[in-house]
Structure 1
Amino acid sequence: MRLFGRQEERARVEGVLAEAQAGRGGVLVARGEAGIGKSTLLDYAGAVAEPSGFRVVRAIGMESERQFAYAALHQLCAPLLEHVAALAEPQHDALAIAFGTKAGSPPDRFLVGLAVLNLLAESADERPLLCLIDDAQWLDQASAEVIAFAARRVYAERLALLIAARDSDHGESAPFDGLPALTLGGLGESDARALLAAEIRIPIDDAVRDRVVAEAHGNPLALLELPRNSRPEILASGFGARERPSVARRMEEAFLQRSAALPGETQGLLLVAAAEPTGEVALLFRAASHLGIPRSAAAPAENAGLFRIDSAVRFRHPLVRSAVYAAATPSERRRAHEALAAAGDARIDPDRHAWHRGQAALGPDQDVADELERAGHRSLARGGMAAAAAFLQRAAELTPEPALRTQRATLAAQAKYEAGAADEALTLLALAAQGPLSPFEAARLILFRAHTTFYLAQGNDVPLEFLDAARALTPLEPRMARESFLFALNAAIIIGGDVRGAAEAARAAPRAPEPPRPLDLLLDGLVSIYTEGYTAGVSRLRAALTSFCDEELDRDAVGQTDSDRWLWLANRTALALFDDDLMHDLAVRNVAITRKAGALATLRAALVSHSVALALSGDFTGAEAIVAEAAAIARATGAASLRYGDLILASWRGRTAETTALHRESVRGREEGRGAEVTLAHYALAVLHNATGEFLPALTAAQRAVESDELAVVSLALPELVEAAARSGRLDQARAAADELGVRAQASGTHWARGLAAGAQALIAQDSDAEGHYREAIEQLTGSRAAGHLARTHLVYGEWLRREGRRRDAREQLRTAHDMLTDMSAAGFAERAAKELRATGEHPRARASAPGVVLTEQELHIARLVATGATSREVAATLFLSPRTIEAHLRSIFRKLGITSRRHLKELQL
């Protein structure tokens, strides 16, 4: 295959192929305007790869295929399905459900991605594999996300993915953002002229040639099509108009000029081909026959170079298809779809049959709408939310009966929301709101609109929308009403809204059912604590949290329960009560349930909660590994990172630059300084400044944190406020915070709470009384999981002893604090302890660096998982990588640590 110019582009492609052949997988996303040569570059890659021993598979995005979930992915994977037996059972099942060959619950999108990654890896193990994905801007959403997922983790495979995507302002190829990219520009003038000379055989006047080269801006398709579709006199004088359309528009116009000159029957055949993206020749001619178009009508279009028919129908360029379809009148398009529906087989491809019937319908048609709804439900079963939304939306539009139309519009809106198209979901909700609506349907619509607007923008009106839904549901569906009140209260906490107002409103919630669900107990407890005070709500909240731990259900049969979705709030509430045992148990339970369910978005939040529990227990190493896994999920799913775990780890570890940067990101654009993340950011800054002995800045940050209604962070921030105020000489502030902490400790009754309260009393006590409080604090905290706070209590006790002139006793406490804090890698507090030790005349012992410091974050995470005895396949499934990638990382880990086996990893205690 000959390419004109493109030396840099060819080198990039050849480099990716060479890396893949050497077992270092590669990805390249070619971007550029229509006609710039992306498809030609992919063809070049295939022509280079095949003689080198690569297996080449292809998928092509088609605009009219975007309604069919996993359509493009099936193109890519179909030639490789002989390797599907090698997949782990959950992956095998997920792929089978996605492709519609097996019934089951809709698979998690990223479990399908892991299955595809391993399917490609298995094939690449046999011989190098090149995947070519063209017109990626038109891939169906499910396929695009899965292919992007796999593309981000081909680190150690004999696998290359080359993806071509048209430049767009609409984000169609957004899943591929961040991958290695190559932007194709126009050909240089000499290469443009060489292409013209080689491909255009008709004589062209020099002035015309100059004009074509100038107007094409190096776009190869424009260079070839402009001379073919215009008279020389027009080229010489007419293309210099001041307002020129884009290259894509000019190409479409050129193709339209060429098709408009064809016989009417040929134009009709082209339209049918444009409306049916499968390229199935027999189907095309059956549909044409339905319209009375003979097979011979294809010849003029082939002769004009618009498409060709061999084993499939192939358009010269996707712009031909889009131009032909867009230029047709609505009635012409309906006739084409009607013919395709008549020619298709509803038993073999019911979804495509339903889609064509839907596009052929002129007005409301109950039978067609029913068929579209069935197709929508099939897409939902495969996990194709975007496809389901398209089917259900069209079903709603064609439904004549108003009440049923409302139901279908609501269902379509939910599918749009789940597919990430919240704006479109609101539009469909507006259609559904036209009714007629029963009171229950109207209330449920309000609730769903609240969820959607909360997703789009966490504005202060969102809790009010949830409250409106809750009030409307109260006389109709009490159980749903209670959960809606809990949504309202939680939204107010998250965004920093009127929490007490939401709690007062929730007091009107219907009585809890018998027996009450864990979420019912949680609602009652939170309402009590926000309306009657901390002490009044503690016993109810503890009963609620215990019920979350005691609940036993068969999740193999029913998946996640209503209560499970509130586990992360229960975990936060346990922290607010200083109940470290419940916090740990709920965090572990949440991770186990969400991991089993394969719900990655929920798993990410569960992992962050678990990381916070581990960090507060002093296990910063374990917490960091879990934060790394949550970050890996965020990268895999394209979700925004949750900063909670990062903030706590960075501050307790004394990482000044990281903590301040995270604080800045968390509070940016939130002038009111409210909301859960902002509150936690202020708490983290207080911890950091207390660690480094900068007590006035710590006081400011802690004061901001305790002004929040976020119960958990206020509980954490109160001890920071006491220490910062006491050490800054602001004893009134310190006493007020210590008193509040004491009230909470008495109500909570846990060792953790009592230990923190005793430590606070020590900091504000007269010198003669302080020691007893310090000893009580250490005794209480020793009985808790709060190792970090215990180590800090040894530190402040040692500081007090040194100021009292009791150097010997001070050394004992400071030595204990230094050892504990150093073992935790709490660098800021450890350095403060070391400084105090030096002031007593003792030089702190140097601590050996852990061997894990030479590893990257991902390598350290892998090493720890392998050290537990996990196999490469198990680690790969946990981290959403392939087993070969895990093995490659292990080789690097062994080399860096100077070891030779997995057994040595366990011995190193990383």
Structure 2
Amino acid sequence: MPQHAKHQLLGRTRELEALDRLLREVRDGRSRVLVLRGEAGVGKSALLDYLAGQAAQLQTVHAAGVEAESDFAYSALQRLCAPLLSHLDRLPSVQQDALRVAFGLSAGNPPEMLLVGIAVLGLFAEAAAESPLVCLVDDAQWLDLMSQRILAFVGRRLDAESVALVFAERITGGRKEEGFSGLPDLPLRGLADADARALLDSVLPGPVDARVRDRIVAETGGNPLALLELPRGLSPAELAFGFGGPGAGPLATRVEDGFRRRVDALPADTRALLLVAAVEPVGDGPLLWQALRLLGIGLEAAAPAEAADLITLGAPVRFRHPLVRSAVWRGADPATLRAAHHALAEATDAERDPDRRAWHQAHAAVGPDEQVAAALECSAVRALARGGRAAAASFLERAAALTPDPKERARRALAAAGAHVAAGVLARVPDLLAAAELGPLDRLQQANASRLRAKASSMTNPGLGAVQPLLDAAGRLRDLDPTAARETYLAAFGAAIWAGRHDEGGLRRAAEAARDLPPGDETAGVFLRALVAWTTDGPVAAFPLLARALRSLTDDEDLAVLWPAANAAVELGDLQAWLDITDRAVRSARTTGTLSILSRALPYRAASLGYVGRFSEARDLLAEAAAVEDAAGVATRMVTAALISAYRGRERPALELIEAMEREGEQRGLGRLTAMAACARAVLHNGLGNYPLAMEAALRGSEYQDLVVHHWTCSELVEAATRSGEAAVAARARVRLADWGQAGTPWALGAQAVADALTGAPEQAEDRYREAVDHFGRGGLGVFEARTRLLFGEWLRRQNRRAQARTELRAAYEAAATMGMEAFAERARRELLATGETVRKRTLGAPVLTPQEAQIARLAATGHPNAEIGAQLFLSPRTVEWHLRKVFAKLGISSRREIAGAFSDQ
């Protein structure tokens, strides 16, 4: 055993207890995730080795991030999953296909990241069904982007599968990496002074003054690797001055420098062997020896490196520590490094592993090389076919750098920028577009560069500031690619709608720019014409075009038009179309694992269900959206969450969400958030009976005519202003709702009828209330039917028609209480009491289920099997079964058939 191995766990009692506890819980059937975080050399890898030893009787799989391999999509994930692929055929076919394509085992449509993540979760669960599974990932900071994102997603969804997923992640400067944020972590620090001194004493070459020893411990911060490595080769006299001093540099750099000095002392052939091993990322022994033979280096060169405890030449080849690899790699001169890459390229089978061959060829190139650049472009195509957009971007970027022809170089740089945008990795986009524009781009390429720049900007700032760049890009495309121009103008409209009052001229500029664009038959073009009409001629003029656009949607419609389709349905007041569109979008996005669509579709769907009155289902979808946000890194549920909370009527939680939306709107220049926050405030305060506050919020919200929101806000304003005694304010809002009524949908007609009842002639109020109840009931708008019955009942009571008032108020109370509209239900209860009727507050009889348990119970009650429930909620089937057992226990039942009868909606 090497000397360092005898001491590597000294002083780690707390950490070892945590790892032992983790293994016990995994053996007991639970899943556990842990991120070991610390600086280089603090002992992360040693703790992983300890865990592997303790789990010797369990299934254990390993992977490690390698800096040199971070451009290869799924590389670390594939190594981790490779021993488990015998379980692949137990997964649903769509998940099997996703993993096979992602790992290059078969051809097919590029899988979305979420679908690969669900498949990996299922694979882990199936493997653990036979025996608990321990997955160990070292150097997680160097994982390729797709492996990092997918493993982070899996880590957040593991629950009851008997899986341990443990990462070791290096941090620098005390900063925690973002890739695994939110996962349970165990920070590792230096050893305590006593343990550090004991470890140092074990490697010191002779007696050292106690004050010098304490100084060395202080300088290293108790870092075990530094304590073991920095004294190596130094005499007691040299150690008397410690390791620090002016310009000493970071600790990891000093340790790496120490390894480099040891490498420099080795024979030339041994140094060359270490360099080839350092740039071969996966530790492939046969490939390493083939490359060394090409360099004329024999097996005997390995002995000095192994004797120096720098490398272990087994299967796989492993360095003593990642800093050894770094020291070897960074210490090589460019010519020697290129020679190592060239040998590895020659040794790599062009048929079996063309991408690594091209990668090595690229690093071996002295200057521009079209043959290598073309090979890298082919690698990018293969990466895209596997769903690896970030990897494709890296290949294309390197290909552009090696391209001798300026025109081809510009084309590849432009393609690299597009791949980065598609991957959502935007930092390199400006430089790549600038490089592309240095070359001879034709007009269409110039226009596409402008479009990519605008799109990248709008992804980070979707509202204020995004409109004009998109309009400029669309203008450059209009004569070159009208279809792309229409799509870009539609994106500009989206940005203008989100900017809202923060860019009051944005919609007008978009409409004027797109007005004369040749019409297109594609759906995006139809929606574009409708939005132009809405902006220039008013909502009423746009209603026929919006209806036509909705009719043009097909079952296999590109879901990129989700946002204008959903907004068109709501602007018309067509709840059924809204429900149909969002249902189709959610089902399609779940099936394909399309995060970008699912992250928007779930909140849209939740909002549509909310207006039906299915608040529990809406909350379930928002919980699902939160899981998608973890995977996608986006936040899209804020608006719906605030509206649902406002309708529920719990003042403090609702105001917290509303205030967060207001802050976000102001900070990011998103006027639509400001408008939605005002509407939610008005709903909340109308429910609570705080009518002046409701009117104040609704007036603020209606200052700008936001698409969709202005109808909702005007409806709240009529009620609040009427109850506040502001007849003129209510009358003005009623006029705007009369325009909406021309859409002819139940929602619009019902809203107009309520406004007429509240503000019109008293003798017509009863008929108008009844019309509104009929319209809302026919349209499936349970929320507004209940609210209208409440208003009607209140009006009847003021007319001293108590018996009739009780009928309406009782219906309003029962409906609002059932849906979970607590404030409106309480308002109805108080009115019933005023009529002389005794009303008790409703209580839920069933035991309280968690939101996740409730969601699983609903799906199980409607016949969904565990695999489908798991795929929908991003859980493994074993976790679904575990939750169902808890549901059965809480409800006192023993089978799925009994759920519907026992489960009380929450």
Query: Is it true that 1:27 corresponds to 2:30 in the alignment?
Result: no
| DSSP-derived class of the 1:163 partner | strand
Choose which of 385, 393, 397 in structure 2 pairs with 1:393: 397
Shift of 1:674: 4.7
- Deviation by residue 1:634-679 (Cα, 9 ceiling, x = unmatched): 2343432421221221111112122111111111154387522222
Residue type at the aligned position of 2:317: V
CA contact (8 A) 2:463 2:498 kept: no
- Deviation by residue 1:429-482 (Cα, 9 ceiling, x = unmatched): 221122311111111111111110011223523111111111111111111111
Choose which of 851, 861, 864 in structure 1 pairs with 2:855: 861
Partner of 1:536: 541
Q: What is the CA–CA distance in structure 2 between the aligned matches of 1:528 and 1:825, rounded to whole Å?
A: 39
Residue type at the aligned position of 2:697: A
Query: Equivalent residues in 2 for 1:265-280 (5 A)?
Result: 265-280=269-284
| DSSP-derived class of the 1:739 partner | helix
- Deviation by residue 1:709-740 (Cα, 9 ceiling, x = unmatched): 42111111111011111111221111111011
Query: Is it true that 1:880 corresponds to 2:857 in the alignment?
Result: no
Partner of 2:572: 577
CA contact (8 A) 2:400 2:409 kept: yes
CA contact (8 A) 1:137 1:172 kept: no
Residue type at the aligned position of 1:133: V
Residue type at the aligned position of 1:884: R
Distance 1:506-1:169 versus aligned 2 partners, 3 A rule: farther
Query: Equivalent residues in 2 for 1:103-118 (5 A)?
Result: 103-118=107-122
CA contact (8 A) 2:413 2:432 kept: yes
Query: Could you tell me the TM-score, scaled by structure 1's length?
Result: 0.95
Choose which of 489, 502, 509 in structure 2 pairs with 1:502: 509
Query: Equivalent residues in 2 for 1:272-421 (5 A)?
Result: 272-421=276-425
Choose which of 20, 41, 45 in structure 1 pairs with 2:51: 45
Choose which of 871, 883, 889 in structure 1 pairs with 2:865: 871
Query: Is it true that 1:701 corresponds to 2:689 in the alignment?
Result: no
- Deviation by residue 1:394-447 (Cα, 9 ceiling, x = unmatched): 001111122222221122112222333112122212211223111111111111
> C-alpha root-mean-square deviation of aligned residues, in Å?
1.9
Partner of 1:472: 476
Partner of 1:215: 219
Partner of 1:120: 124
Partner of 1:690: 686
Shift of 1:323: 1.6
Q: What is the CA–CA distance in structure 2 between the aligned matches of 1:435 and 1:850, rounded to whole Å?
A: 72
Residue type at the aligned position of 2:294: H
Q: What is the CA–CA distance in structure 2 between the aligned matches of 1:499 and 1:908, rounded to whole Å?
A: 53
CA contact (8 A) 1:506 1:527 kept: no
Choose which of 668, 672, 675 in structure 2 pairs with 1:676: 672
Q: What is the CA–CA distance in structure 2 between the aligned matches of 1:144 and 1:566, rounded to whole Å?
A: 30
Shift of 1:358: 0.5
Shift of 1:171: 8.0
Shift of 1:749: 1.1
- Deviation by residue 1:233-275 (Cα, 9 ceiling, x = unmatched): 2221153415542221110111111112223332222222211
Stretches of structure 2 that go unaligned for 5 or more consecutive residues are none
Shift of 1:360: 1.0
| DSSP-derived class of the 1:510 partner | coil
Distance 1:61-1:671 versus aligned 2 partners, 3 A rule: closer
Q: Which shifted more, 120-129 or 258-267?
A: 258-267
Partner of 1:224: 228
Residue type at the aligned position of 1:697: L
Q: What is the CA–CA distance in structure 1 between the aligned matches of 2:873 and 2:417, rounded to whole Å?
A: 32
Query: Is it true that 1:621 corresponds to 2:624 in the alignment?
Result: no
Query: Is it true that 1:710 corresponds to 2:706 in the alignment?
Result: yes
Shift of 1:848: 4.5
Q: Which shifted more, 325-334 or 59-68?
A: 325-334
Query: Could you tell me the TM-score, scaled by structure 2's length?
Result: 0.95
| DSSP-derived class of the 2:134 partner | strand
Stretches of structure 1 that go unaligned for 5 or more consecutive residues are 554-560
Q: Which shifted more, 168-177 or 584-593?
A: 168-177
Shift of 1:624: 1.9
Runs of 4+, deviation exceeding 6 Å:
169-172
Partner of 1:205: 208
Shift of 1:227: 1.2
Q: What is the CA–CA distance in structure 2 between the aligned matches of 1:637 and 1:16, rounded to whole Å?
A: 28
CA contact (8 A) 1:479 1:512 kept: no
Partner of 1:817: 812
CA contact (8 A) 1:426 1:449 kept: yes
Choose which of 583, 589, 594 in structure 1 pairs with 2:589: 594
Residue type at the aligned position of 2:515: A
Distance 1:170-1:639 versus aligned 2 partners, 3 A rule: farther
Partner of 2:900: 906
CA contact (8 A) 2:66 2:281 kept: yes
Residue type at the aligned position of 2:25: E
Choose which of 645, 652, 655 in structure 2 pairs with 1:650: 645
Shift of 1:218: 1.0
Q: What is the CA–CA distance in structure 1 between the aligned matches of 2:555 and 2:24, rounded to whole Å?
A: 53
CA contact (8 A) 2:464 2:670 kept: no
Choose which of 197, 200, 219 in structure 2 pairs with 1:196: 200
Q: What is the CA–CA distance in structure 1 between the aligned matches of 2:693 and 2:281, rounded to whole Å?
A: 64
Query: Equivalent residues in 2 for 1:4-15 (5 A)?
Result: 4-15=10-21
Distance 1:33-1:891 versus aligned 2 partners, 3 A rule: same
Partner of 1:896: 890
Q: What is the CA–CA distance in structure 2 between the aligned matches of 1:636 and 1:285, rounded to whole Å?
A: 40
Q: What is the CA–CA distance in structure 1 between the aligned matches of 2:849 and 2:565, rounded to whole Å?
A: 35
- Deviation by residue 1:510-530 (Cα, 9 ceiling, x = unmatched): 2223xx122221111111011
Query: Is it true that 1:100 corresponds to 2:95 in the alignment?
Result: no
| DSSP-derived class of the 2:779 partner | coil
Residue type at the aligned position of 2:305: A
- Deviation by residue 1:821-844 (Cα, 9 ceiling, x = unmatched): 112111011101111111111122
Shift of 1:782: 2.8
Distance 1:210-1:168 versus aligned 2 partners, 3 A rule: closer
CA contact (8 A) 2:471 2:510 kept: no
Residue type at the aligned position of 1:685: R
Q: What is the CA–CA distance in structure 2 between the aligned matches of 1:547 and 1:133, rounded to whole Å?
A: 49
CA contact (8 A) 1:493 1:709 kept: no
Choose which of 266, 276, 299 in structure 2 pairs with 1:262: 266
> How many pairs were matched up?
893
Distance 1:182-1:69 versus aligned 2 partners, 3 A rule: same
Identity score, percent: 45
Partner of 1:663: 658
Partner of 1:146: 150
Residue type at the aligned position of 2:409: R
Partner of 2:460: 456
Q: Which shifted more, 858-867 or 376-385?
A: 376-385
Partner of 1:729: 725
Shift of 1:694: 0.6
Q: Which shifted more, 2-11 or 411-420?
A: 411-420
Query: Equivalent residues in 2 for 1:52-201 (5 A)?
Result: 53-168=57-172, 173-198=177-202, 200=203
Choose which of 777, 782, 785 in structure 2 pairs with 1:790: 785
Partner of 1:558: none
Residue type at the aligned position of 2:589: T
Q: What is the CA–CA distance in structure 2 between the aligned matches of 1:129 and 1:531, rounded to whole Å?
A: 62
CA contact (8 A) 2:664 2:670 kept: no
- Deviation by residue 1:37-93 (Cα, 9 ceiling, x = unmatched): 00001111111121xx21221111111111111111122111122211212111111
Distance 1:703-1:411 versus aligned 2 partners, 3 A rule: same
Partner of 1:830: 825
| DSSP-derived class of the 1:616 partner | helix
Q: Which shifted more, 75-84 or 498-507?
A: 498-507
Residue type at the aligned position of 1:533: G
Q: What is the CA–CA distance in structure 2 between the aligned matches of 1:537 and 1:638, rounded to whole Å?
A: 35
